[in-house]
Amino acid sequence: MPKSDTGDTDDTDDPIQVVVEDVSTWEGVETGPHRFNAVEFDVGAHEVGHIHRGGGALDINFPKRMGDTLVAKGRTGEHHYVPESGWTTYRIGSAGDIEGARWLLRVSYLYRALIQRKKPDGKEVLEATDVAAELDELGVSDDVRAIFENVTELESHGAA
């Protein structure tokens, strides 16, 4: 079911709103309300992440190994309520946090599109996106890249 309510405000200086407006323009992303005064970003049936407007918590459910790697590299923190789960929390408190939030959401977005590559929503994103080039541009670690490569490697071995 398509989502469209982003809970937009007129405050374009609000770093949370800047992130919401940016991510909302990405191919195949749908936005909608999430509990606890949050805005959720989805690609197809998969959540990319959500931002709580009240405190600036950006929550993303990465595959556990990826989440652990990103926490260890200092890119994000353990989830504020469910640590050790794959869920992560990144705090958006100022304009200086916007790029970090975009980076994390983009990594999640690319991964969510890739795991849905055989479904219309994933295909739509991947037709408009060069995942390998974006991972290069994002400068992801070898550990994170290996997780992406494992998804496509499994497919080539008939396990996807």
Dihedrals phi, psi of 19, to nearest 5 degrees? -65, -45
Angle at Cα 69 formed by Cα 67 and Cα 128, nearest 5°? Answer: 65
Residue (of 104, 2, 97) closest to 50 by Cα position: 104
Residue 57 carries which DSSP code?
E
pTM higher than 0.75 for the full model?
yes
pLDDT at 2: 31
At 133 the three-state DSSP class reads: helix
What local confidence, expressed as pLDDT, does residue 13 receive? 85
Task: Return d(Cα 60, Cα 78) in angstroms, integer.
Answer: 10
Q: What are phi and psi of 17, to 5 degrees?
A: -65, -35
Per-residue DSSP letters for 60-115?
A: EE--HHHHHHHHHTTSSEE-SSSTTSSEEEEE--SGGGHHHHHHHHHHHHHHHHHH
In the block, tokens 């479904």 appear at: 119
User: From first to last of its 160 residues, what are the pLDDT tens digits of the chain?
Assistant: 233 344 444 456 899 999 999 999 999 999 998 988 899 999 999 999 999 998 899 999 999 999 999 999 999 999 987 777 889 999 999 999 999 999 999 999 999 999 999 999 999 999 999 999 999 999 999 999 999 999 886 554 444 4
DSSP-derived letter for residue 119 is S
Give residue for tokens 């405000």.
9
Q: Nearest Cα to 18, choosing from 93, 98, 100, 106?
A: 98
Phi, psi of 101 (to 5 degrees): -65, -45
